[in-house]
């Protein structure tokens, strides 16, 4: 893996009405810090299993971009713009569904490392 790429995985269990639901999650991310903006790709696959119901599979792809509203990079105490486009495919009970999501946001970079807990000490 390069510095631009990351992989992750996880397991989630939920107890509801006396039954456990299990979810396995796999993720791949690619983030490129370009000269004037940052773009990111994320692919997530998850599988949900519980007794008495058929498994459910979801596949997500998200593209996002961030750009400073002042200057050439996102500095501390500066606003930035962000746009995301996400596709969510779902396969359950032999039926498929597709959701397409989009968002536009304005953010604020509080600190250089974006970790507010380091400033509390």
* Tens-place pLDDT, residues 97-108: 999 999 999 999
pLDDT in tens, 35-77: 888 999 999 999 999 998 899 999 999 999 999 998 888 888 8
What are the extents of the domains in the chain? 5-119
Q: Distance between CA atoms of 88 and 19, rounded to whole angstroms?
A: 26
Chain centroid, CA 67 distance in Å? 18
Contacts of 43 (CB under 8 A, 6+ apart): 27, 28, 29, 59, 60, 61
Q: How many other CB atoms sit within 10 Å of the CB of residue 66?
A: 19
How high is the pLDDT of residue 31? 94
Q: Distance between CA atoms of 33 and 38, rounded to whole angstroms?
A: 5
Q: Distance between CA atoms of 103 and 106, rounded to whole angstroms?
A: 10
How high is the pLDDT of residue 64? 96
pLDDT in tens, 72-99: 888 888 999 999 999 999 999 889 999 9
Q: Band of the pLDDT at 112, cuts 50, 70, 90?
A: low
How high is the pLDDT of residue 52? 86
Which pTM does this prediction carry? 0.77
* CB 103, CB 71: distance < 8 Å: no
DSSP 8-state assignment for residue 75:
-
């Amino acid at each position: 893996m390069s510095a631009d790429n990351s992989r992750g995985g996880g397991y989630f269990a939920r107890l509801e009405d006396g039954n456990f639901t299990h979810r396995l999650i796999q993720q791949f991310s690619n983030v490129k810090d370009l000269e004037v903006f940052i773009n990111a790709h994320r692919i997530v696959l998850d599988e949900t299993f519980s007794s008495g119901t058929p498994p459910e599979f979801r596949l997500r792809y998200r593209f996002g971009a961030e750009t400073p509203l002042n200057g050439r990079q996102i500095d501390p105490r500066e606003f930035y713009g962000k746009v995301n486009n996400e596709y969510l495919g779902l396969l359950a009970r032999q039926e498929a569904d597709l959701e397409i999501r989009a968002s536009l946001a304005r953010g604020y970079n509080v600190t250089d490392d974006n970790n507010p807990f380091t400033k509390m000490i």
